[in-house]
Every structure is written in structure tokens, then in C-alpha cells.
């Protein structure tokens, strides 16, 4: 649950609530809410689709839409309109799925008791170490969803629906538990039988002269221009509130509220003299107390930095429009320094700032309509950010990316040569083996030295004592377990060229090991089959759904 409801409550823009309240409402009003397409009735009772020929009302869709948003927020700490695309999350599709599941809960007569729902809440908002319910976590979560127009009633409905769908899942997937020990043994053997193999690998590094004349490079660039498209980049103006800027004030405040030295002495005694180490060595008392002092000052300094950030944010109230210029002006008026980043893409860390990737994520959530972000907390500072400039993605000229294109072109030509060599050797090998020669004799005749591969199975993740990265585990598995013993694979591309695999035999499964692992494997297989059963069932049921939604309507969820 997004860093356990986050360490700190999500910032709320009190000064701009009035401005964005409309967009909150629009975000949680699905596209069907604007009157497009569908059925009789008006308002929340309007029919906007069917499930098994039974009507679905706008209110049902609206509630399911909010359930799905809460589900995504609980898992990621962001909203679908902010980060859904990066997770491959389709909110409309998931809403339809949620509607179907809730209908099936009702059809099957599943009733969730108050106690079951309460138990789910206790577990969901529990301290991960103690397992006890934390009212603070719940309150923070509730405050974090309110700006999106969500209420405690929405949270209660979501909890009840989660429990109901969980019970539905258990019922539907029961048949998946019908895995017998003999079937589990068969599957275990399939997954754990060891392939004994040898390989011939052909590397591009043996053909480094290919492509050096650059003949055909321009055509290569034209055919692959999409690969070299220059991605969108952004510049961000920001004000940094670093804890280190407030250490003197932190010391003054700590001394005013308590004797700082006395507090340090107490912490040293309470935590234990052996608790303070550096490079594995216990610190002397004076060094340990210096460490405590620095920690306390930095903690207090960060609190003061947070207060300063809040004060700065309140200054935006006087601006009619928010912009990078407004941030710069406000910083000047408050005798603070605003700075400008160099341009960076959505997959890069902001250069030179030492900030987490969340800085980049926040930067790419900003729009020209909403250019100011909620303050971002880093490890030792708060950042207030504003969108300065969007540099659109664009197709490059050859000169912009010439160095990269030259390298890629030469690499491709080398790969082509390596694969041509592999095909030539493969044809000769097959002819020799068809003529009765063994794989090793045929290789020797052709001047090739096969590589002995350590035995592996379908469950193997890494090969012990095998450092040749040209033959990956997945490459070996895909070839070996589609072959018969004593046969040669077709030529198969590798990242470095190409290769062929010879399957000598399959080694027997270790019976003693199998008997030891089989009980746990049986349970894992049953759980896996249950998941497969439920997935197949839900996919089949989705055919009964007919929704009249159109995300192109002007009422589709808005960004916020």
C-alpha cells in the first residue's frame, strides 16, 4: 500500500482548492455521464449498458469507476490519469470488469458480513510489523483521497466490494484445486528434467570489418528513423528547501523546547552505547553523541524546511494564474533562489540535483494548464516545482544522431555476417549428421568447437559456472525443450549473433529431491491453477458485457 499510506500525508493545495474543484468532479464523472449513448432514464438511473442483458445504470458505473481508482491509488500512490499509462492500466476496461464481478457477487448470493469487512480494514491499515490497526494510516488515506471528490462512504463501499469479490474468486476457482498428486508429479518432472546440451555460437565480434565502409548507412537510417526519434524533454524551475539551510534555527528551537545536550545524552543511554557504529565499528562516546546531534538537527531542520515550504506555497494565493514565472517572482519576493534544470527526458533523473526519480515523475505530470506541482519531499529537502518548458519530441536529422547511427549500422552488418556464417555451418552439420556422423565428429570435421552447457531445466534461472553471456538461459530453454534427444536445432538469433543447439539427452529427475519438494509443489500448482481458472472464467464472462461508453466524449476523465 504505497509505502504504507506514505510516510507523510499527501500535500493538499488549500490555496487552490477552489480552482481545481471542478476538475475533481470531472475526473470522477465517467464519459457516460455527459449524456452520450445509451438507454432510457436520466441522471444516475440512466441505462448505459448491459450485463447478461440486464441494465447497468450510470450510478453503478460511476461507483465501479471510483472503486477502480481507489484500487490503483492503494497499490501505487498515484491516480490512473497520472500514472495509469505507464503501468498499462486501462481504467475503463477495469471498470467494466469491476461491474461484472459485482454483478456476479450479487447473482451468487454472496453477502459480506460487517465483521469480515471490518477485519479487512484492520488488516489493510495495519502496521506491517505489529499487525495492529493504525488509525493514523486510515486518516491519512482518507485525507489523500478527498481532493479527488472521494468520501469515507466510497472507501466503505470499496472495502465491502473487495471482500465480496475475494469470496467470489474463491468460489469460482475451486475447480483449480483439483490437482492430484500424480498430476503434480508429472508436471514436476516436466519442469525439472535436465537437458544435456552443446552449442555452437557465432559472434558478430568475429566480423568487425563488416560495415566499416558505411555503404548503405543512409538507407538504414531512413528505414529506422522511428528508432532515433528525439523524445520529449522538459525543463523545470524549482525552489529547494534544504534541511541544511535551517540547522541553526533547528538548534535554537531544540534548545528552547528542551536542553539539546541533555536530550543527546538521554538518547545515547536509551538506545545503548553499542548502537552507534561506523563501518562496523562501535563509535566512541563523543563521536556517537556527535552522530546523534547531527541526526536530531537534520530531522528538526527538515521539519522547519517543511514549514517554510508551506509558507511559500501559501504565497501563490495572490496569483490569478500559476506559472513558472509566478514561482520565480514569488521566490524573489521571499528572498529565495529559484533555479532551472537542464533538459531531461521522462526516463532520466534530473541532472545534477541528486533527487529521486519521483522528481522526474512529478515533472512529467505537469501540464501547461496545471504547471505547479505539490511540494516533493526528497531525503533531505523539499522541492517546489514548476513547468518551465516542454521540448517536443521530433524526428532527427542524420547529423543529430550520426554517431549513434554509425555504431548501430556497423553492429547490424556484423550480426548479419555472423548469422550468415551460422546458416552455412548449420547446413553442413545437418548434412554430416544425416550421413551418420555424430555431432562432435561433424563439428571437428568443420573445424568447430562446441561449448558444453551445464545441465538446465525449465525452472533454471541461472547457470552455475557458465559465464558465456551469448547463450542466455531463456534461449537455451526455448530451444532444448522443443527438441528430441539426438537432434540439432535450427539456427536461432542471439543478442551477439546466432547459434545452434544440440540436445544430447534429458537427465532423470532426482527422485529423493522430488519427493521432498512435491508437497509444496502440489500446493503451488493448485494456487496457480486456481488463478488460471478464475482468469479463464472472467474472460468468458466479459463476452456478456455491452457498455455504451465513449472516452472521446468531452466528459471523459480529466487530468488533475
Per residue in 52-75, pLDDT tens? 888 899 999 999 999 999 999 999
What value does the mean pLDDT take over residues 43-51? Answer: 78
Q: What is the DSSP letter of 55?
A: E
**How many angstroms separate the Cα of 505 from the Cα of each of 485, 487, 499?**
5, 9, 19
Q: Provide the CA 348 distance to its chain's centre, in angstroms.
A: 16
Percent of the chain scored above 90 by pLDDT?
58
pLDDT classification of 424: cutoffs 50, 70, 90: very high
Question: What's the confidence (pLDDT) of residue 44?
Answer: 66
pTM of the model: 0.57
Q: Give 13's pLDDT tier (boundaries 50, 70, 90).
A: very low
Contact 17, 549 (CB under 8 A): no
* Mean pLDDT score, 6-31: 33
Does the structure show a pLDDT above 90 at 388? yes
Mean of pLDDT values over 108-136: 89
Q: Is the pLDDT of residue 550 over 50?
A: no
Q: Distance between CA 244 and CA 300 in Å, rounded?
A: 10
Q: Averaged over 425-431, what is the pLDDT? A: 97
Average the pLDDT over 143-168 and give the result: 92
Span 325-347, average pLDDT: 95
State pLDDT tens for residues 194-219.
Answer: 999 999 999 999 999 999 999 999 99
Long-range contacts of 360-367 (CB under 8 A, 24+ apart): 361/83, 363/234, 363/236, 363/387, 364/234, 365/82, 366/234, 366/236, 367/559
Q: What is the pLDDT of residue 37?
A: 41
Q: Is the pLDDT of residue 361 over 50?
A: yes
- Residue 176 is predicted with a pLDDT of 78
Does the pLDDT of residue 451 top 90, yes or no?
yes
Centroid of chain to Cα 466: 31
> SS3 for 375?
coil
- Residues 305-326: pLDDT tens digits? 999 999 999 999 999 899 999 9
Say how many C-beta atoms besides its own lie within 10 A of residue 371's C-beta: 21
pLDDT band for position 226 (cuts 50, 70, 90):
very high
pLDDT (0 to 100) of residue 28? 41
d(CA 558, CA 66): 14
More confident residue, 558 or 38: 38
Cell readout for 480 is 532444448
Asked whether 443 and 429 are in contact (CB, 8 A), the reply is yes
Q: How confident is the model at residue 559 (pLDDT cuts 50, 70, 90)?
A: very low
Q: For cell 465513449, what's the residue?
A: 550
| DSSP strands (E only) in 41-115 | 47-51, 54-57
pLDDT at 546: 79
What are the cell numbers at 464?
552455475
Mean pLDDT (the chain) is 86
Q: Which of 180, 194, 197 lies closest to 513 in space, CA to CA? A: 194
Q: Report the percent of the chain where pLDDT is more than 70.
A: 90
Q: What is the pLDDT of residue 475?
A: 97
What's the average model confidence in pLDDT over 417-432? 97
Query: For 69-98, what is each residue's pLDDT tens digit?
Result: 999 999 988 899 888 887 888 988 899 999
Q: Work out the burial of residue 39: count CB atoms within 10 Å of its CB; fewer than 13 is exposed, 13-18 middle, 19 or more buried.
A: middle
Per-residue CA distances from 536 to 94, 176, 279, 532 (Å): 16, 11, 54, 6
Instruction: Work out the pLDDT band at 492, boundaries 50, 70, 90.
Output: very high
pLDDT of 549 higher than 70? no
Q: What pLDDT band is residue 41 in, cutting at 50, 70 and 90?
A: low
Q: What is the per-residue pLDDT for 442?
A: 97
Residue in the structure block whose three cell numbers are 489523500? 144
- The pLDDT, as a whole number, for residue 232 is 95
What confidence score (pLDDT) does residue 253 get? 86
Per-domain residue ranges of the chain:
2-175+540-547, 194-229+399-507, 233-391
Query: Is residue 353 over pLDDT 50?
Result: yes
Q: Is residue 97 a contact partner of residue 538, using CB atoms and an 8 Å limit?
A: yes
Amino acid at each position: 500500500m504505497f509505502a504504507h499510506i506514505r510516510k507523510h500525508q499527501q500535500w493538499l493545495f488549500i490555496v487552490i482548492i477552489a480552482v481545481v474543484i471542478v476538475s475533481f468532479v470531472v475526473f470522477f464523472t465517467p464519459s457516460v455521464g455527459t449524456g452520450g449513448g445509451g438507454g432510457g432514464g436520466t441522471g444516475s438511473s440512466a441505462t448505459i449498458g448491459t450485463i447478461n442483458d440486464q441494465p447497468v445504470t450510470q450510478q453503478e458505473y460511476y461507483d465501479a469507476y471510483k472503486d477502480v481508482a481507489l484500487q490503483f491509488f492503494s497499490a501505487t500512490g498515484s491516480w490512473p490519469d497520472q500514472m495509469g499509462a505507464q503501468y498499462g492500466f486501462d481504467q475503463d476496461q477495469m471498470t467494466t470488469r469491476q461491474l461484472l464481478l459485482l454483478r456476479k457477487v450479487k447473482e451468487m448470493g454472496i453477502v459480506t458480513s460487517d465483521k469480515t469487512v471490518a477485519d479487512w480494514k484492520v488488516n489493510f491499515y495495519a502496521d506491517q510489523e505489529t499487525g495492529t490497526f493504525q488509525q493514523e494510516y486510515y486518516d491519512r488515506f482518507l485525507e489523500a483521497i478527498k481532493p479527488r471528490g472521494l468520501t469515507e462512504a466510497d472507501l466503505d463501499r470499496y472495502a465491502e466490494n473487495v471482500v465480496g469479490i475475494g469470496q467470489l474468486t474463491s468460489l469460482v476457482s475451486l475447480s483449480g484445486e483439483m490437482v492430484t498428486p500424480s498430476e503434480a508429479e508429472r508436471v514436476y518432472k516436466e519442469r525439472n528434467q535436465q537437458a544435456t546440451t552443446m552449442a555452437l555460437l557465432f559472434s558478430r565480434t568475429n566480423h568487425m570489418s563488416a560495415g566499416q565502409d558505411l555503404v548503405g548507412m543512409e538507407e538504414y537510417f531512413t528505414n529506422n528513423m522511428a528508432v532515433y526519434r528525439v523524445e520529449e524533454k522538459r525543463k523545470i524551475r524549482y525552489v529547494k528547501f534544504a534541511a541544511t539551510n535551517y540547522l541553526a534555527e533547528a538548534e535554537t528551537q531544540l534548545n528552547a523546547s528542551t536542553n539539546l545536550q541533555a536530550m543527546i545524552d538521554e538518547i545515547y543511554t536509551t538506545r545503548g552505547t553499542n548502537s552507534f557504529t561506523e563501518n562496523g565499528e562501535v563509535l566512541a562516546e563523543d563521536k556517537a553523541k556527535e552522530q546523534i546531534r547531527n541526526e536530531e538537527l537534520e530531522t528538526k531542520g527538515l521539519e522547519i524546511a517543511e514549514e517554510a515550504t508551506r509558507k511559500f506555497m501559501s504565497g501563490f494565493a495572490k496569483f490569478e494564474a500559476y506559472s513558472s514565472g509566478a514561482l520565480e517572482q514569488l521566490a524573489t519576493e521571499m528572498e529565495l533562489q529559484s533555479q532551472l534544470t537542464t533538459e531531461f527526458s521522462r526516463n532520466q533523473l534530473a541532472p545534477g540535483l541528486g533527487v529521486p526519480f519521483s522528481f522526474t515523475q512529478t515533472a512529467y505530470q505537469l501540464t501547461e494548464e496545471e504547471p505547479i506541482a505539490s511540494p516533493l519531499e526528497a531525503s533531505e529537502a523539499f522541492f517546489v516545482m514548476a513547468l518551465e518548458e516542454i521540448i517536443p519530441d521530433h524526428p532527427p536529422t542524420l547529423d543529430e544522431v550520426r554517431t549513434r547511427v554509425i555504431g548501430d549500422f556497423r553492429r547490424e552488418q556484423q550480426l548479419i555476417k555472423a548469422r550468415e556464417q551460422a546458416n552455412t555451418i548449420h547446413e553442413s552439420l545437418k548434412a554430416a549428421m544425416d550421413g551418420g556422423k555424430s555431432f562432435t565428429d561433424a563439428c571437428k570435421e568443420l573445424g568447430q568447437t562446441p561449448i558444453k552447457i551445464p545441465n538446465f531445466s525449465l525452472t533454471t534461472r541461472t547457470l552455475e559456472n557458465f559465464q558465456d553471456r551469448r547463450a542466455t538461459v531463456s534461449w537455451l530453454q526455448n530451444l532444448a525443450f522443443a527438441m528430441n534427444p539426438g537432434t540439432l536445432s535450427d539456427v536461432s538469433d542471439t543478442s551477439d549473433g546466432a547459434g545452434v543447439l544440440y540436445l544430447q539427452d534429458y537427465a532423470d529427475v532426482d527422485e529423493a529431491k522430488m519427493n521432498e519438494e512435491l508437497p509444496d509443489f502440489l500446493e503451488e500448482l493448485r494456487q496457480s491453477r486456481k488463478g488460471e481458472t478464475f482468469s479463464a472464467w472472467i474472460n468468458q464472462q466479459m463476452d456478456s458485457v455491452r457498455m455504451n461508453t465513449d472516452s472521446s466524449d468531452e466528459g471523459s476523465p480529466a487530468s488533475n
